[in-house]
Amino acid sequence: MSYHSFLLEPISCHAWNKDRTQIAICPNNHEVHIYKKEGSKWSRIHELKEHSGHVTGIGWAPESNRIVTCGTDRNAYVWSLKGNVWKPTLVILRINRAARCVKWSPKENKFAVGSGSRLISICYFEQDNDWWVCKHIKKPIRSTILSLDWHPNNVLLAAGSSDFKCRVFSAYIKEVEEKPSPTPWGSKMPFGELMFESSGTGGWVHGVCFSDSGNRLGWVSHDSTVCVTDANKKTTVAILDTESLPLLTVTFITESSLVAAGHDCYPVLFTYDNAKDTVTFGKKLDIPKQNVQQGLSALAKFRNLDKHASADDNNVHLETLHKNSISQISVLEGGKKNCLKFCTTGMDGGMAIWDIKTLEADLKGLKIV
């Protein structure tokens, strides 16, 4: 596991380039900074300054090497590298509230932006006008879209919203792609068609993720639950009520295992059992540093009793790698099928890279199915 502290402020969002040598982060302001790994140090090589509001989402398309950013200024920009400079192109989203999240589609010919205007903007490039245009998915969304994830077929899109629901929509744009073949989520997929809507849990849906095959959908919400559903049995949702604080972000690392992280500041492994329709808690994926436990003097004991109402000082120091909530998780190596490394960024301004093989070796009883 390696941890690098970029800033003292929260990292609003991050995105990696294709070969994982550069990372684009938003340091909680109107800019995007791109850092390059040089040996064991990170140096800032680019600053993308165009937004007039906080940047809330960054997407880096691996093949076409374009960056899309969206922000609270209700705009999105697509950046292309010309020579050694990133040049922005404005995308008119036609929204009247802040943009909250953005994701490139798998084929990188479209991207989706979730916003506080209670709609999703699907943007694609129109060759004739040399301009990015967008189409809106509005019904039946009733509140802000907090998270998005694309299905591998480039058409279906999962959206988690603060109206307590996780939905799957069709984002089929006939101008840029062929009609999609039927999937377990449904066969008729006109633009804006609602393929699935969750029910049964409350709380804002902070993070959604499709599995590698696209047949499974996992989401985490603010009522401390993790849910997974399989497209082949859309009506049964496996729900796990966790005992920890709400999780903010989730990703599949194999077809049946998910890693999620949130306000508890450490990533957690969950396992989905398709046969039993259950999600079970796997393990907490953080190896705390072994603190040398010195004997507490009587003075220290009473002082702790007075200050913290407990004799020991276990609860005062966070033993996790991240010292504040983790807001975003991204897969670095291996894809969502067989993830080998993943990265987390959080409100402590730090970025940690987690190695699955090392975790399996160090944590006894860690089983990833």
Partner 1 sequence: MSKNTSTDKFRRVNVDDYDENNYVDEDEGGENQIGPDEAEVDASIRQGNLNAALQAALKNPPINTKNQAVKDRAEATVVKVLTSFKSNDIEKAVQSLDKNSIDLLMKYIYKGFEKPSENSSAILLQWHEKVLAAGGVGSVVRVLTARKTV
Strand partners of residue 252: 258
Nearest 5 degrees, angle CA 149-CA 170-CA 119?
A: 70
Instruction: Choose between 88 and 246: whose C-beta lies nearer to partner 1.
Output: 246
Output the smallest distance, CB 97 to partner 1, in A: 11
Say whether residue 235 binds partner 1 (CB under 8 A).
no
Output the smallest distance, CB 215 to partner 1, in A: 28
Instruction: Choose between 206 and 216: whose C-beta lies nearer to partner 1.
Output: 206
Output the smallest distance, CB 185 to partner 1, in A: 23
The token pair that represents 240 in the structure block: 């796990």
Burial classification of residue 369, based on how many CB atoms lie within 10 Å of its CB (0-12 exposed, 13-18 middle, 19 or more buried): exposed
Q: How many CA atoms lie within 13 A of 31 on its CB side?
A: 10
Span of 26-34, 220-228, 296-304, 355-363 interacting with partner 1 by CB under 8 A:
220-228
Instruction: Choose between 105 and 224: whose C-beta lies nearer to partner 1.
Output: 224
Say whether residue 272 binds partner 1 (CB under 8 A).
no
Report how far residue 35's alpha carbon sits from residue 50's, in angstroms, rounded to the nearest whole number. Answer: 18
Secondary structure (DSSP) of 38-107: ETTEEEEEEEEE--SS-EEEEEE-TTT-EEEEEETTS-EEEEEEETTEEEEEEE----SS-EEEEEE-TT
Say whether residue 278 binds partner 1 (CB under 8 A).
no
Residue listed under structure tokens 């994982």: 20
Span of 58-66, 188-196, 240-248, 303-311 interacting with partner 1 by CB under 8 A:
240-248
Say whether residue 243 binds partner 1 (CB under 8 A).
yes
Instruction: Choose between 246 and 350: whose C-beta lies nearer to partner 1.
Output: 246
Say whether residue 118 binds partner 1 (CB under 8 A).
yes
Output the smallest distance, CB 245 to partner 1, in A: 6
Instruction: Choose between 117 and 330: whose C-beta lies nearer to partner 1.
Output: 117
Please count the residues of this chain forming the interface with partner 1, following the rule CB under 8 A: 17
By the 8 A CB rule, do 216 and 258 touch?
no
- Stretch 136-175: interaction string toward partner 1, x if CB under 8 A: ------xx-------------------xx-----------
Say whether residue 244 binds partner 1 (CB under 8 A).
yes
Handedness of CA 237, 185, 158, 270 (dihedral sign): positive
Span of 124-132, 242-250, 297-305, 351-359 interacting with partner 1 by CB under 8 A:
242-250
Strand partners of residue 82: 85
By the 8 A CB rule, do 25 and 10 touch?
no
Span of 91-99, 171-179, 207-215, 221-229 interacting with partner 1 by CB under 8 A:
221-229
By the 8 A CB rule, do 238 and 228 touch?
yes
Say whether residue 223 binds partner 1 (CB under 8 A).
yes
By the 8 A CB rule, do 141 and 173 touch?
no
CA dist 305 → 126, 197, 292 (Å): 67, 49, 21
Output the smallest distance, CB 74 to partner 1, in A: 17
Applying CB under 8 A, which residues contact partner 1? 118, 142-143, 163-164, 202-203, 222-225, 241-246
